[in-house]
Amino acid sequence: MKINTRFIVYYLMFGLGLGFGRAQNNRWVDMFSYLRVEHVQPVDTKIYAQSENAIFIYDTQNDEIEKISSVDGLSGDKISNIYYHKALKKLFIFHKGGLIEVLDEQKNITLTPDLAYNSFIPADRKKLNDIYVRNNTLYLATRYGISTYNLERNEFGDTYYTGTGAGLEQVNAVEIIDNQIYIATEHGLKKADINDNLIDYNVWQTVDNRNWDKMAQNNGNPVVVSDTKLFEYDNGVFQEKISLPVRIKQIQINDYIVLTTGHKIYVYTLDYILQNSFDDSSLSNEYLLDATDSNGFVYIGSRKHGLVKTPVDRFQFAQLHPDSPLSNHAFAVDAHDKHCWVVYGDHRQFNPYRSYREGVSSYQNGQWINIPYETFNVPNLSFVKINPTNINEVYIASAKNGLFRLKDNQIDKYFDQNNSLLQSFSGDGVRVFAMNFDSQNNLWVTQRARPALLKLKPDDTWEGISLQSVFPDIADYHGFSELVIDDEDNIWLGTEYRGVVGYNPDTGQIVSNKKGIDPSDFTYVKGLDIDKDNIMWEGNINGLRIMPNPQKMFDDPNVAFKPVKIIYENTVQLLMEGQDITDICVDGSNNKWIATLGSGVYYVNEDGTQTIYHFTKENSPLPSNDIYDMAVDGVSGMVYFATLNGMVAFKGNATEAGENMNDVYAFPNPVNQQQHDFVTIRGLIEGVSVKIVDVAGDLVYETISKGGSITWDLTAFGKYKVASGVYIALITNEDGTQTQTAKILIVK
């Protein structure tokens, strides 16, 4: 812990495994950002903090943090508010799309999707603005009116449409004092008797026509906020109590009145005497979202520093949050040898869609290392690549501002038009796109300007390759989605308009091929990889295509991509046809991970005829079905999924081949056929024969490893599940000089 008199930083890096919910699985890793805290609620000795799509709970007594995310069973949807009910011991999580999740003391989750499915209320009106609890009923202030929610039955009750003629009206806040219910609306402050028929809009009396933003209660009276002023409504009179120079964003009243203004927190006594104020000058590039007090401390929800804690009577900040990446806007990711890097820029159709200033994050040895935007002062960091020969060297490309090199997590070099062959495109920035390393440790880089393909050599000298033969007009292309290098160091590029472009460094030959990729007039190749059988897998906005021996493109201009045909329900179909494919990754077993926009991610066997997994937001911790990028770590087997709602990782089975077989093992072992569909054997070298036999010596399965692992589906050559018992894997390399065995116990 590093301490100084004005600023304390705690990195609480542990999240308690909760073991609940539909998605709980120890093969998934939560990689969400908890640095943006939008709402805070104190409950006895705990502070409940709501981040964008997850929750964490800070225990003030033992200084521990518990986090709750989609890995623990939450939906992963964006959250608008939370409420913890002490008597019922339930946490209510309100999502921006209308879904309500209820987490009980046993960590079970109950869903209430009624509002989410309500088509009468427009989607943009379903946001929750405020919550008030009376007995066992929640009164929910929303952008359409007031809804009641029964806390014991976990179901909606009546809805009160308070606008003129029972129309939709935004309600910013709700309070109940004695038998009067007050609502702050976009058309003024209204009240009604709680025992009246509140469904009848005529019972709602307008007290004042001003636009009231927030509301609480103090001294038995409503306290209302309008812009920069706070009033107490007493006996029909509005008494101005506080006037600030800027707009009041939030108000919470416990032992103190705590006001949030965006860049400053004001703390008043209950008699409206200013006790203290705190600004965000010690928190770089910050904005304050919510604040509350508890037991002599102020807890502040910030945009970039998590939950910030300070004593009421002095200025001494502490950051409280789980170990976390900088942002949930995960756009591009790369992984190698137990290191993962993620960037948060963006480009749509290869043009900067908007300016993202989020920096870069790295996951190393189970902990996050964050390099904030202020270190670069460059937006839209949209591509990242780890040097496979030196994992401490990483290249980061901006969709508008050149190329960075990091060494040991520090900026080592910045390349632009002044010190490299990178060029500004029409004076609108140096747009760098896909990049990759060849076998000689050259970094190949693509850019929007000419020359479009560049080679950065290990000595930091550059070489440019003109692609003008396939792009005669500079306006013909906008960028490059993928750069893949095959075993012969040929360069393959995924493009927006020209399908797949290939470059042979030995001959200088350049080809473009979009035959078999539809529609032929707009061929946006998003995903590209070459598997261990030298088959190119190509994914575009309309589906999936393959090409065996893609080097044939250099010799035969008529060679075409072909679909993968599968049998489904006794009919021949095309694999992934009509899907918008964003990325394809080949793992150590030669299986393929295929990411999509709209359908989550697929994991298929080496020829695509069998789907091993299909992960979606509905059946896994994925926070979105739109997957923008993936990375497979061939050493650990970990697979990383980047979405604009956050990142998660899956502990995959497949690894790249090693140099020997000194550490061969099978897992899970024992294998319970009621719980597991596969067993994986790891620690192999490439090309070894694996034969699995029963104790009688009868062969039940055999294969040749394509990498460092193989997966067996527990069947006898795919026909039927094998019986319980002990099975032996006999492993031999081609010339018989290396052999190993592994015992596998199967139970039912």
Residue 302 host element (H or E): strand 297-302
The pLDDT tens digits of the residues spanning 207-229 come to 999 989 999 999 999 999 999 99
Distance CA 622, CA 619 (A): 8
The pLDDT tens digits of the residues spanning 55-102 come to 999 999 999 999 999 999 999 999 999 999 999 999 999 999 999 999
Could you tell me the residue ranges of all domains in the chain?
Answer: 665-747
The pLDDT tens digits of the residues spanning 223-247 come to 999 999 999 999 899 999 999 999 9
Tokens matching residue 657: 């081949």
pLDDT at 527 over 60: yes
The pLDDT tens digits of the residues spanning 453-503 come to 999 999 999 999 999 999 988 776 678 999 999 999 999 999 988 999 999
CA 714, chain centre distance (Å):
33
pLDDT at 15 over 70: no
Per-residue confidence band for 667, with pLDDT thresholds at 50, 70 and 90: confident
The pLDDT tens digits of the residues spanning 384-409 come to 999 999 999 999 999 889 999 999 99
pLDDT at site 658? 82
- The pLDDT mean for the chain works out to 92
Mean pLDDT along residues 263-287: 95
Give the sheet arrangement for strand 90-95, strand by strand: 79-85, 90-95, 100-103, 109-112
pLDDT at site 25? 61
The pLDDT tens digits of the residues spanning 569-607 come to 788 999 999 999 999 999 998 999 999 999 999 999 999
- In DSSP terms, which residues pair with 699 in a beta bridge? 693
pLDDT at 11 over 70: no
Report yes or no on whether pTM surpasses 0.85.
yes
pLDDT at 275 over 70: yes
pLDDT at 12 over 50: no
Percent of the chain with pLDDT over 90: 79
The region of weakest confidence among 286-290, 433-437, 658-662 is: 658-662
Mean pLDDT along residues 524-546: 96
Alpha helices in 177-242 (DSSP H): none
Q: Which residues does 86 contact at the CB level (< 8 Å), separation at least 6? A: 43, 44
pLDDT at site 651? 92
The region of weakest confidence among 431-435, 698-702, 734-738 is: 734-738
Pairing relation of β-strands 317-320 and 7-9?
A: parallel
Give the sheet arrangement for strand 525-530, strand by strand: 525-530, 535-540, 543-548
pLDDT at 412 over 50: yes
The pLDDT tens digits of the residues spanning 292-323 come to 999 999 999 999 999 999 999 998 999 999 99
Q: Where on the phi/psi map is residue 89: left (φ > 0), alpha (ψ -120 to 50), or beta?
A: left
Write the burial class of residue 9 (CB in 10 Å: 0-12 exposed, 13-18 middle, 19+ buried). middle
3-class SS of residue 333:
strand
Per-residue confidence band for 353, with pLDDT thresholds at 50, 70 and 90: low
Per-residue confidence band for 352, with pLDDT thresholds at 50, 70 and 90: low
pLDDT at site 520? 78
Contact 210, 226 (CB under 8 A): yes
CATH architecture of 665-747: Sandwich (2.60)
Tokens matching residue 152: 């014991």
Q: How far is CA 30 from CA 25, 639, 647, 650, in A?
A: 11, 12, 7, 9
pLDDT at site 3? 27
Whose CA is closest to 289, among 321, 323, 263, 270?
Answer: 263
pLDDT at 2 over 80: no
Tokens matching residue 613: 């997994």
